[in-house]
Amino acid sequence: MTASASLPAPAPAASATTALAPVVPAWLDRAAYPFALHTAALPDGRLSYVDEGRGPTLLFAHGTPTWSFEWRHLIRALATRYRCIAPDHLGFGLSDRPRGADYSPEAHARRFAAFADRLDLRDVTLVVHDFGGPIALPWALASPDRVRNLVVLNSWMWSFADDSLMQRRGKIAASFVGRALYRWANASLRLLTPSVYGDRRKLTPAIHRQYLAPFRDRWARVEVLWALARALNGSAAHYDELWQRRAALAGWSVALIWGLRDDAFRPTMLDRWRIAAPHARVVPLADAGHWPHEEDPEAVVAAIRKLVAG
């Protein structure tokens, strides 16, 4: 197992979960991301995670091509009253990035479940974004008594077999051209990420650097990022299994917070969530795109507080 040269080698773990040594990558903006760093040692590698605050637990699951940095505004605002836990999936952010590891949604889901079990998390409000849905929901649906609330931010839990637009995008992403764009142009970060902001000016150069820095290595763009891009269609069975278990959503309080200017996950996907969870509170954000918590964090914080308070 080897880590990317862009990342520091974490200190050896004294136990299953421990604080990292204070050495952090030179590119990390500690003013924007001032949280104490922890690590969970799993069989595939070590996951870096944030664990801030006390109170009812909020568990965050990020998507691609980002990492727990995307939750920083929510953690700052909510850690005064809640325990906020935000891991970096293997290969992302400050977590280990072993070459040759399985970076499919199914593998990430198994690791996320192992992480939640390792910390013995219960009575959780699960907050998912993008691929965080297909990664975290398998654990939640397998252990529904450990989840109290679900917050969905521009994510999904179904196959795209009947969605011609997403099918077409998935085919392009999985193609030889798609692979080359990911490897040589860093397409998901340099092309796709800016394109799905509601207001591209909110993706400032300083913020963008925090997402670009972990993926300086071309091999990682293919093994880690492109693995998820080709899984849009390639992991259809995984997503379909989640959809078949959607009845479990009725046992949780659910908030659907949606950036309506998201050109990747359009409002028709929000309509699908309304079918899956007709009891959900819907919070449409007219000016936000794919990352509502980056673009309108105050509205997202308010919606989460309202949901948790009941």
Q: What is the pLDDT of residues 136-193, one digit of tens each?
A: 999 999 999 999 999 999 999 999 999 999 999 999 999 999 999 999 999 999 999 9
Give the integer Cα–Cα distance in Å for 239 and 134. 7
* Order of strands, sheet of 281-285, starting from the edge strand that comes earlier in the sequence: 17-19, 37-42, 45-52, 83-87, 57-61, 124-130, 147-155, 253-259, 281-285
pLDDT for residue 212 is more than 70: yes
Q: Is 271 a catalytic residue?
A: no
Catalytic residue among 38, 129, 290, 293: 290
Give all strands (DSSP E) within 77-123, no chain letters. Answer: 83-87
Q: Is 262 a catalytic residue?
A: yes
Task: Report residue 123 as tokens.
Answer: 């009575």
Give all strands (DSSP E) within 80-123, no chain letters. Answer: 83-87
Q: Could you give phi then psi for residue 153, rounded to 5 degrees?
A: -120, 105
Helix (H, G, I), strand (E, B) or coil at 292: helix
pLDDT for residue 9 is more than 70: no
| pLDDT for residue 23 | 61
What is the dihedral angle through the alpha carbons of 207, 213, 219, 223, rounded to the nearest 10 degrees? -50
Q: How large a percentage of the chain has pLDDT more than 90? A: 92
Catalytic residue among 96, 262, 293, 296: 262
Average pLDDT over residues 293-310: 97
Which of 68, 71, 116 is CA-nearest to residue 93?
Answer: 68
| pLDDT for residue 17 | 52
Give the integer Cα–Cα distance in Å for 159 and 263. 18
Question: Whose structure tokens read 């308070």?
Answer: 309
pLDDT digits (tens, 9 = 90+) for 59-69: 999 999 999 99
CB 218 within 8 A of CB 306: no
pLDDT digits (tens, 9 = 90+) for 255-267: 999 999 999 999 9
pLDDT for residue 8 is more than 80: no
**What's the predicted TM-score (pTM) here?**
0.93
pLDDT for residue 304 is more than 70: yes
pLDDT digits (tens, 9 = 90+) for 43-57: 999 999 999 999 999
Q: How large a percentage of the chain has pLDDT more than 70? A: 93
Give all strands (DSSP E) within the chain, no chain letters. Answer: 17-19, 37-42, 45-52, 57-61, 83-87, 124-130, 147-155, 253-259, 281-285
- What would the CATH number be for the domain defined by 34-161+237-309? 3.40.50.1820
Query: Where are the domains positioned within the chain?
Result: 34-161+237-309
Give the integer Cα–Cα distance in Å for 290 and 292. 6
pLDDT digits (tens, 9 = 90+) for 67-95: 999 999 999 999 999 999 999 999 999 99
Under the banding of pLDDT at 50, 70 and 90, the label for residue 310 is confident
Average pLDDT over residues 27-48: 96
| pLDDT for residue 18 | 52
Catalytic residue among 44, 88, 130, 296: 130
Q: What is the DSSP string of 49-83?
A: EEEE--SSEEEEE--SS--GGGGHHHHHHHTTTSE
Residues 6+ positions from 50 with CB-CB distance below 8 Å: 35, 36, 37, 38, 68, 71, 75, 84, 85, 86, 87
Average pLDDT, the chain: 93
Residue type, 296: D
